[in-house]
Amino acid sequence: MTEIIPLSDLMPGSKAIITGLCAEGGMRRRLQDLGFVEGSEVDCVNISPLGDPTAYRISSTIIALRREDADTIKVKITPS
């Protein structure tokens, strides 16, 4: 069984499949509009020098998210 982790724990170069969102209301809608929906593949591109924000690639677009926002996205790591 593959472990479900927050997106914020994904290391650079790792890929994962989104399994769910814990955000509510406007934040949930914003994340979905950016492409963070269940079943989408996402990979961690880069972590900023101070650790926040982190850049993720989703649907050929790179998006930077704060740790607190990435914590609300649950993912399952896939083999690279």
- Domain holding 32: CATH number? 2.30.30.90
Beta-carbon-side half-sphere exposure of residue 37 (alpha carbons within 13 Å):
7
Query: Residue 48 belongs to what domain range?
Result: 4-78
- Residues 69 and 49: their CA atoms lie apart, in Å, by 18
Measured from the Cβ of residue 60, the count of other Cβ atoms closer than 10 Å reads: 6
Q: The pTM is what?
A: 0.91
How many domains is the chain built from?
Answer: 1
Nearest to 77 by CA among 9, 17, 13: 17
The 10s digit of each residue's pLDDT in 10-63 is: 999 999 999 999 999 999 999 999 999 999 999 999 999 988 999 999 999 999
